[in-house]
């Protein structure tokens, strides 16, 4: 997050992460075949967040930014 440009970009990433946390199964499952870890990927206008859903949280695995 610290490497992102200023406020609008950070707000987009934060909003996408919150949307994924609120409804983690709404985003596509992108795990490799045979993997036991559930990996999903939330896609925004200029960012993507691969994550693992947990009880009331998500574990962000990476953060991709196009911009």
Residue by residue, pLDDT tens for the chain (67 residues) are 667 767 787 888 999 999 999 999 999 999 999 999 999 999 999 899 999 999 889 999 998 888 6
43 SS3 class: strand
* CA distances, 59 to each of 5, 7, 14, 51, 67 (Å): 22, 23, 13, 5, 24
Decide if 50 contacts 61 (C-beta within 8 A).
yes
Give the whole-angstrom CA distance, residue 30 versus residue 10: 24
Q: In this structure, what token pair is assigned to residue 53? A: 């859903």
């Amino acid at each position: 997050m610290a490497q992102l440009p200023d406020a609008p970009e950070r707000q987009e990433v934060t909003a996408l992460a919150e949307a994924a946390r609120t409804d983690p199964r709404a985003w596509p499952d992108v795990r490799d075949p045979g993997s036991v870890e559930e990996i999903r990927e939330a896609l925004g206008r200029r960012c993507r967040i691969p994550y693992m859903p947990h009880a009331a949280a998500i574990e962000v695995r990476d953060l991709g930014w196009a911009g």
